């Protein structure tokens, strides 16, 4: 039975933005009611970094599989099912695989994921396994996994749901729509992490479309951030052996390289890199000042913003948005390492506990 919901009920982003997406009445909508994530102002963080602007975080970790990938995946899996696909496949640094596995489970089709062995955050691996994906760890990095997946796609026997599938970009652009809807305007700057570069391509498309439709007047300058050990776009050449604590963006040869460059150039933006130490400092700071726990990749644009404040590159009074692409719980190992938890073990008495707290 189809549930009767009030017209205002959130039913996922295909339902909300149908007119701007490549779907028809014939498309079977596979949804976990993704999207509609909060855009949270973070004044404590801005104060802590000495900024004099507004910053709003688009908390994409609150999607059904805890990353922004669900936006592209609802559309990619819906279109795959429409075409009669029985198997979806992807290469992933973890989040795409978690999302593909969930939406394939929802659709009742098979999912195969290729992951770089040993370089996947624990939560993401747990997700692929729990959702029942055929999970293959390859002895190589993401770039090699994606090459294999693309070759398998050419056999016509599997549907590739990486962002080389243009439908993924279409779904992901809805985050830019939501930001404009939530702010009531386009931001002056948009900051986000860059890995395979699909998301920066998608956001720029979304911001341009909303502007062209007259829904908002302006478009933001796009500021994308790579990790220093995995910064092919900044360095101007593929990185053979990328490395960074932010495993989500440990990518040496991004598929949407050109899309990222266009977003940067056309928007008057910037693509730059930050070190792992800068990433980890921002990762801790946003958690402690705002209660927002993100995975390390999300801290790359925050570290980038800290850099921009130091360089006085942001005009006073600017309205800035930044995408927090994945939830902090995805990567509990890094969180535990960074919080340096050394339990204070005490006798189970009021006195002993009071003494540790410093009250009597």
Of the ranges 90-98, 177-185, 272-280, 336-344, which one interacts with ligand F0G (CB under 6 A)? Answer: 90-98
Nearest to ligand F0G of 105, 297 (CB atom): 297
199 near ligand F0G, rule: CB under 6 A: yes
How, if at all, do strands 189-193 and 319-324 pair? parallel
264 near ligand F0G, rule: CB under 6 A: no
The rounded distance, in Å, linking the Cα atoms of 104 and 216 is 35
Binding residue for ligand F0G, selected from 12, 51, 198, 232, defined by CB under 6 A: 198
92 near ligand F0G, rule: CB under 6 A: yes
Whole-number minimum distance, CB 6 to ligand F0G, in Å? 33
Nearest to ligand F0G of 67, 174 (CB atom): 67
The rounded distance, in Å, linking the Cα atoms of 286 and 293 is 7
* DSSP-assigned letters across all residues of 251-276: -SS-TTHHHHHHHHHHHT-EEEEE-H
In the stretch 95-124, what mask flags binding to ligand F0G with x, by CB under 6 A? xx----------------------------
Of the ranges 192-200, 211-219, 236-244, 284-292, which one interacts with ligand F0G (CB under 6 A)? Answer: 192-200
Could you give the maximum distance between any two Cα atoms of the chain, in Å? 72
Nearest to ligand F0G of 82, 209 (CB atom): 209
Nearest to ligand F0G of 198, 229 (CB atom): 198
Q: Are 57 and 39 in contact (CB under 8 A)?
A: yes
Q: Are 321 and 189 in contact (CB under 8 A)?
A: yes
Place of tokens 């006195």: 351
* Continuous H helices in 131-227: 142-153, 166-172, 174-183, 198-212
Whole-number minimum distance, CB 310 to ligand F0G, in Å? 23
Nearest to ligand F0G of 179, 197 (CB atom): 197
# binding residues, ligand F0G (CB under 6 A) = 21
Report the side by side order of strands in the sheet with 189-193.
Answer: 39-41, 54-59, 319-324, 189-193, 221-227, 270-274
93 near ligand F0G, rule: CB under 6 A: yes
In the stretch 242-261, what mask flags binding to ligand F0G with x, by CB under 6 A? ------xx------------
- Token pair belonging to 193: 């992490």
- Token pair belonging to 323: 């995408």
325 near ligand F0G, rule: CB under 6 A: yes
Q: Are 245 and 199 in contact (CB under 8 A)?
A: no
Of the ranges 27-35, 51-59, 195-203, 228-236, which one interacts with ligand F0G (CB under 6 A)? Answer: 195-203
Whole-number minimum distance, CB 10 to ligand F0G, in Å? 23
β-bridge mates for residue 134, sequence order? 112
The rounded distance, in Å, linking the Cα atoms of 106 and 272 is 38
174 near ligand F0G, rule: CB under 6 A: no
64 near ligand F0G, rule: CB under 6 A: no
> Strand, helix or coil at 146?
helix
In the stretch 120-159, what mask flags binding to ligand F0G with x, by CB under 6 A? ----------------------------------------
Whole-number minimum distance, CB 106 to ligand F0G, in Å? 18
193 near ligand F0G, rule: CB under 6 A: yes
CB-based burial label for 322 (10 Å; 0-12, 13-18, 19+)? buried
The rounded distance, in Å, linking the Cα atoms of 136 and 119 is 13
Question: Contact residues for ligand F0G (CB under 6 A)?
Answer: 67, 69, 92-96, 163, 193-199, 248-249, 295, 297, 325-326
């Amino acid at each position: 039975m189809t549930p009767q919901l009030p017209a205002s009920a959130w039913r996922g982003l295909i339902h909300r933005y149908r007119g701007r997406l490549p779907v028809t009445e014939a498309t079977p909508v596979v949804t976990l009611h993704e999207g509609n994530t909060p855009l949270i102002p973070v004044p404590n963080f801005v104060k802590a970094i000495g900024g004099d602007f507004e910053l709003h975080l688009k908390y994409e970790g609150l999607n059904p599989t805890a990353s922004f990938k669900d936006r592209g995946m609802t559309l990619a899996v819906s279109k795959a099912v429409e075409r009669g696909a029985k198997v979806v496949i992807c290469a992933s640094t973890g989040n795409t695989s978690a999302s593909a596995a969930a939406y394939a489970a929802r659709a009742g089709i098979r999912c195969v994921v290729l992951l770089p062995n040993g370089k996947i955050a624990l939560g993401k691996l747990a997700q692929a396994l729990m959702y029942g994906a055929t999970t293959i760890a390859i002895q190589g990095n993401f770039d090699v996994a994606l090459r294999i997946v693309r070759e398998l796609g050419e056999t016509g026997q599997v549907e590739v749901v990486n962002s080389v599938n243009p439908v993924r970009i279409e779904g992901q652009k809805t985050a830019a729509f939501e930001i404009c809807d939530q702010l009531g305007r386009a931001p002056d700057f948009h900051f986000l992490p860059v890995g395979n570069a699909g998301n920066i391509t998608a956001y720029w498309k979304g911001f341009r479309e909303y502007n062209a439709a007259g829904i908002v007047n302006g478009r933001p300058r796009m500021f994308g951030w790579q990790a220093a050990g995995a910064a092919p776009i900044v360095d101007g050449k593929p990185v053979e052996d990328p490395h960074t604590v932010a495993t989500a963006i440990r990518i040496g040869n991004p598929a949407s390289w050109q899309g990222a460059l266009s977003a940067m150039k056309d928007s008057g933006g910037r693509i730059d890199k930050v070190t792992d130490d800068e990433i980890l400092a921002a990762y801790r700071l946003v958690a402690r000042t705002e209660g927002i726990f993100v995975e390390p990749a999300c801290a790359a644009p925050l570290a980038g913003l800290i850099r921009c404040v130091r360089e006085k590159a942001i005009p006073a009074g600017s309205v800035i948005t930044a995408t927090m692409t994945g939830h902090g719980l995805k990567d509990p190992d890094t969180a535990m390492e960074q919080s340096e938890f050394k339990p204070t073990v005490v006798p189970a008495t009021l006195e002993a506990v009071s003494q540790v707290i410093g009250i009597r």
